[in-house]
Structure 1
């Protein structure tokens, strides 16, 4: 999924813009995660176990990588929902695009977090628990904040440059592959079947943005 996001991004927005997007995502996600673990102010009180391997500070190296893997499809989906094409370099819609992107990303975590923090995997542990499968609601507001920050920073940069691939991004159906990747990841997270309720929650919470994105893209194409 990471390679899919990176290669698709290079094809769509170019190597330099992909590199900048990756740097912004890595820096912001690691900083927020590290600060969140130390203080409990962003996502709630938690810590990572050894499951995800080597750490930088208190954050596994895989986490910033996973943030980019996940945030790129949310970038594409938010563009499709609001503009109808995979690229949406528009100064007037930066706030709305960033907000929609953060909600699309957080919908993913509603499916991802219960399994990875659950008793089978325990990639991270919530100290005080919470009402959503043992996860505090603060975590999801933290995801919205983190993703919104990343989207805003990149979109401000993006709005100041000319995207050479914008014109070709209107009717090329392979450019919506990240939407299918987002859908596939929903299925992958549901295969273990833990918790069972996610089999109902997942297709709805992640299916809505997929349907809206594909509907708008097909209509405008």
Structure 2
């Protein structure tokens, strides 16, 4: 009876996984391009006072859009998340809250900053409850892209870990200037589009802890196999480039936009901006002709 129940649970999980993968695959362009473009328009509209109050910085819309854009990464990684990986990600979640609370209360290690809007419910009234949803996928995206870009060199921890940590810091070189521009948070002062150097020291510290936890969470060979077989697993990084890269362009944050371009180049070189994503946006009859 127990064996039958276990087999049934395995079949049910596989069925759910297939359905989720089909849903993501059939809507790749919408998730990875349309959603972030709409997000960029609404965030800029909010920052410039062009949207009515119910829509401007609407936390439910922000959380919903973020979750949709994260969905390819979450669905892609699900088959590789066992108890050990779940425990490591749980520890990373706790660390994420802890280091952010320390940062808000003491100005260390990121420098003096404050959230200028509420990104959904706030933990202790100080940091977003959804903070892990915002931060941990960025680390996972940077880590997975590093594995693809470094190829066989990723076998060495001396190459893999520093490269992934550098990728995490580079992610914030794109994120923070755009987030400051649209009013998500602000720093007392900063030399890089309103962002201080101390913020990147903080990201170096946080990124190191996060990358090490991610590195020990997964069987790397199995993870890499999944990355190669799942075409959409890095679509969340595509969304990131489209959303924050376009906002940086609109506000003239040229260096930040250039770093987003580097990520775009890496995604293209590793085949993550692929033909199927573009074809999905074309109406059926025309798509069939193009496919021929």
TM-score scaled by length of structure 2: 0.59
Query: Counterpart in 2 of 1:4?
Result: 72
SS of residue in 2 equivalent to 1:52: coil
- Given that 2:141 and 2:234 are in contact with CA atoms closer than 8 Å, whether structure 1 keeps it comes out as yes
Task: State the distance in 2 between where 1:170 and 1:111 align.
Answer: 24
User: Which of these residues, 113, 119, 122, is aligned with residue 183 of structure 2?
Assistant: 122
Distance 1:167 1:98 in 2: 15
- CA deviation after TM superposition for structure 1 residue 197, in Å: 3.0
Distance 1:125 1:154, change over 3 A: same
1:146 aligns with 2:202: no
Q: CA deviation at 1:170?
A: 7.9
Q: 1:61, 1:132 → 2: CA distance?
A: 27
Determine which structure has more spread, i.e. the larger CA radius of gyration. 2
Matched, 1:188 2:249: no
Verify the 8 A CA contact 1:102 1:144 in the aligned structure 2.
yes
Q: CA RMSD in A?
A: 2.9
Q: For 1:134 and 1:61, locate their aligned partners in 2 and report how far apart those are by CA, in whole Å.
A: 25
Which one of the candidate residues 33, 36, 41 is aligned to 2:108?
41
Structure 1 residues 100 and 51, CA gap change in structure 2 (3 angstroms): same
SS in 2 for 1:125: strand
CA distance in 2, matches of 1:50, 1:170: 35
The 1-side partners of 2:113 and 2:103 are apart by 8
Report deviation, 1:134. 0.7
Matched, 1:155 2:223: no
Structure-1 residue corresponding to 2:132 = 64
TM-score by length of 1: 0.75
Higher helix share: 2
Which structure 1 segments of 5+ residues have no match? 216-221
Query: Given the alignment of the two structures, is residue 201 of structure 1 paired with residue 201 of structure 2, yes or no?
Result: no
With over 3 angstroms needed to count, the CA separation of the structure-2 counterparts of 1:163 and 1:201, relative to structure 1, is closer
Distance 1:14 1:169 in 2: 11
Q: Is the 8 A contact 1:2 1:69 kept in 2?
A: yes
Partner of 1:219: none
C-alpha distance 205-164 of structure 1, shift in aligned 2 (>3 A) = closer
- Displacement of 1:169: 4.1
1:77 Cα deviation after fit: 1.2
Tell me, in whole angstroms, the C-alpha distance in 2 between the residues paired with 1:167 and 1:197.
34
Change (3 A) 1:44 1:205: farther
Matches of 1:99 and 1:20, distance apart in 2:
23
The question of whether the paired residues in 2 share the 8 Å contact of 1:130 and 1:137 is answered with yes
